[in-house]
Structure 1
Amino acid sequence: MSLDLDMTTSGDDGIWRDSEPLVCCAVVPEAPNTATFSFVSPSGRQFRYEPGQFLTLELPVSGSTLWKTYTISSSPSRPLTLSVTVKAQAGSVGTRWMLDHLQPGMSIKATGPAGIFTLPRKEQKKYLFISAGSGITPSLAMTTYLYDRGTDVDVTFVHCAQRPQDIIARQRLEQMASRVPSIKLFFIVEEDDPYRVWTGLRGRLNQLMIGLIAGDYMEREVYCCGPEPFMEAVREMLIGLGYDMDRYHQESFGAPVKQEEQLPEHDDLVPDEEAAASVTFAQSEVTAECFETDTVLAVARSAGIVIPSGCTFGVCGTCKIRKTAGTVHMVHNGGISEEDIDSGYILACCSKPIGKVEVEV
């Protein structure tokens, strides 16, 4: 469908304002229940925004108006169109309406752009983008922007999905990475697609994967977006790895914020290398003094107490013991189940005592 666009008037700065509606110009399926909707300005104005910002659409759902916020998945380096990539979840209303009804040629009202989850004004050289599900959209916008600028940047792009078929914009990302060697892609899936070969990473993102994928993660600026439990897990991994969390940035998957004052406060438990702690080994009748950054396994060895262990990375589960009192900071790599954790078990190799802790050893 062709669109007749009016030219901007004399004296106009040529930039789209949200007082003007958007006209849908393309709908591209990306994955099951997922599509990218692209828009143009009826007047021909261009779009100006920061990569990672969001837009609020006014959707005419069931005879009323529903306001729904989406991260802009296109890049401001391509200012003639603006795109959002949406994924319908169970119970979705606005997104479901878009997938079922929004077609090229239709007009829709929007407000924005807004948001502070963007690249720094002073450009960094090395980035680590980590995302899950439709949280890929700000990483996609940022990567496209850096790609278009042609600057000497180093991007490691990590995305987690249920299956390969759920990876959004996979071909677009692979096309950019094939032309710029400093853009490196890593896709992690939990399940294979039936009757299709998957040679990439499987499972859930963990500390070992971060180390293998980006061994220089300490030098990178980290941007993370996905469901809240996913982002919480990423924070825990990075804290456990000793990453400088002042260089960590995350988007709110459910409700992007417009100003820094609206950022949620994360009650992250961070072991303090100068804070005193102790571990009581109940069966051995030994209490050993230590610091919060020491692992229970290391404390046991220093006290002459044997705890069977294998990998020492929280993978094999050999050092699983029961904690009977106190709090530990544990970041494992799949070696213990949630049921065991709920029952009081910990992995000694990756558990650090916070204050006084007692274990059954």
Structure 2
Amino acid sequence: MMRDAAQFDPTDSRVTRPAFWGTLPERWTSDVEETLVCCHVRQETHDVKSFFLRSPQGRTFSFEPGQFVTLELEIDGESVNRCYTISSSPARPHTISITVKRVPGGKVSNWLHDNLQPGATLRVLGPAGEFTCARHPANKFLFLSAGSGVTPLMSMSRAHHDLAEDRDIVFAHSARTPDDIIFARELELIASSHAHFRTAFVCERVGARTDWHGVTGFLSLPLLKLIAPDFMEREIFCCGPAPYMQAVRNLLDEAGYAREHYHEESFSFETLTADEPDTQTHELAQAATQTFADATTYTITFAKSRREIACNSQQTVLEAARQAGVRLASSCAQGMCGTCKVKLVSGQVEMKHSGGIRQREIDQGMALLCCSKPLSDLVVDK
């Protein structure tokens, strides 16, 4: 229905419009603008929500599909960092979305589901990450996901869809039941729009649905051969719970698939305990101490706890702390998430991070202990 022009005056000061209309916005970076505002919340399944974020200043987002951001939250008086993959497409740069599954007992996922509403603000760091099809171009892709591991692959699928890239993509997603399939309708819409985009859903059980005619059970090599007979020729991206990814690696190894064409998202911060020692990191620390026994040893002093430890110049501070039994908050141990960020009261480190800290914070004397090796004795505000 046409609206009477006399009833609508676009110059009326009471009429508001999105900040990006009619302008060429600046690019958003967390160094310039730390805080984003939630502008929309969408229920995806009974325990999954998507949260849409925008820049209060109207800046646009630039990222590669599959990358993640780090949320810096204050929950019950405690600072908590958590990484979530961006589920939206980089071809729609005025907002980003994260899609979060409510995890029983999960401090951050439950807080987000219960508290993050339109109009709320939160501090965000990033984007970062190397799990992206943008860095591994191919004519044929196979996307394998389970549960909330669908999010980075959804970003990749949305990007191809938005850019009208009818690339040969097979997207196989595993879920508990048909009602737990995240983005089911949208994936079917993409498949109906692109001749070379195909989906396959594998559910452990039917659940409450009586009209499910899809596959039930678990992904196996025979099933994968039915879903994507030419999977050996495809670039594979995989994301999901650790047991799922291990099962995928096993069946690909059984088939003789070339591992250099396999890529997986290798962390899940919601399931990690912030101060829980990592056995593998502990073992690496011991090996490093033995290997570099002749290297310089420095003293690390933790100012608040009044603990002192020795740290080899070839070790990270986090490795040395764990070896000495000092429990420090950490998650990724790869310089990405920012959980182990601390203030250096004195001393210098060599830090090789992966996006988990802002340059401004480095200039202020902050460091990530998981990727910092001492260049002198250190005093840490911890």
Which TM-score applies when normalising by structure 1?
0.67
Mapped contact 1:56–1:69 kept (Cα < 8 A) = yes
1:228-247: per-residue Cα shift (whole Å, max 9, x none)?
11101100100101111110
Mapped contact 2:52–2:97 kept (Cα < 8 A) = yes
For these two proteins, the number of residue pairs brought into alignment is: 255
Cα deviation for residue 120 of structure 1 reads 3.8
Gaps of at least 5 residues in structure 1 are 257-263, 266-361
Aligned to 1:234: 248
Cα deviation for residue 6 of structure 1 reads 5.5
Find 1:93's aligned residue among 80, 91, 107: 107
Cα deviation for residue 149 of structure 1 reads 1.6
Cα deviation for residue 91 of structure 1 reads 1.3
CA separation of 1:193/1:3 partners in 2, compared to 1, >3 Å: closer, same or farther?
Answer: farther
Aligned to 1:116: 130
> Do structure 1's residue 130 and structure 2's residue 144 form an aligned pair?
yes
Amino acid at match of 2:30: D
Query: Aligned runs of 1:150-165 on 2, under 5 Å?
Result: 150-165=164-179
Give me the whole-angstrom Cα distance separating, in 1, the residues matched to 2:72 and 2:17: 23
Aligned to 2:203: 189
Amino acid at match of 1:204: F
Gaps of at least 5 residues in structure 2 are 1-14, 271-279, 282-382
1:28-50: per-residue Cα shift (whole Å, max 9, x none)?
01112210000111111110000
Give me the whole-angstrom Cα distance separating, in 2, the residues matched to 1:72 and 1:164: 23
1:312-345: per-residue Cα shift (whole Å, max 9, x none)?
xxxxxxxxxxxxxxxxxxxxxxxxxxxxxxxxxx
3-state secondary structure, aligned to 2:118:
coil
Find 1:204's aligned residue among 218, 232, 239: 218
1:127-148: per-residue Cα shift (whole Å, max 9, x none)?
0000000000011000111111
Give me the whole-angstrom Cα distance separating, in 1, the residues matched to 2:165 and 2:150: 22
3-state secondary structure, aligned to 1:74:
coil
1:241-273: per-residue Cα shift (whole Å, max 9, x none)?
1111110000014159xxxxxxx99xxxxxxxx
Amino acid at match of 1:250: E
Amino acid at match of 2:56: P
Mapped contact 1:3–1:105 kept (Cα < 8 A) = no
3-state secondary structure, aligned to 1:69:
strand
Cα deviation for residue 174 of structure 1 reads 1.1
- Structure 1 stretches (4+) deviating beyond 4 angstroms? 2-8
1:99-155: per-residue Cα shift (whole Å, max 9, x none)?
001000111110000000011446311000000000000110001111112124101
Mapped contact 1:5–1:41 kept (Cα < 8 A) = no
Aligned to 1:17: 29
Mapped contact 2:69–2:126 kept (Cα < 8 A) = yes
Q: Over aligned residue pairs, what C-alpha RMSD do you find?
A: 2.3
Amino acid at match of 1:211: K
Give me the whole-angstrom Cα distance separating, in 1, the residues matched to 2:153 and 2:52: 18
CA separation of 1:204/1:4 partners in 2, compared to 1, >3 Å: closer, same or farther?
Answer: same
Give me the whole-angstrom Cα distance separating, in 2, the residues matched to 1:99 and 1:110: 17
Give me the whole-angstrom Cα distance separating, in 2, the residues matched to 1:212 and 1:3: 53
Aligned to 2:75: 61
Find 1:74's aligned residue among 79, 88, 96: 88
CA separation of 1:7/1:161 partners in 2, compared to 1, >3 Å: closer, same or farther?
Answer: closer
Aligned to 1:26: 40
Which TM-score applies when normalising by structure 2?
0.63
Query: Aligned runs of 1:321-332 on 2, under 5 Å?
Result: none
CA separation of 1:27/1:124 partners in 2, compared to 1, >3 Å: closer, same or farther?
Answer: same
Mapped contact 2:89–2:159 kept (Cα < 8 A) = yes
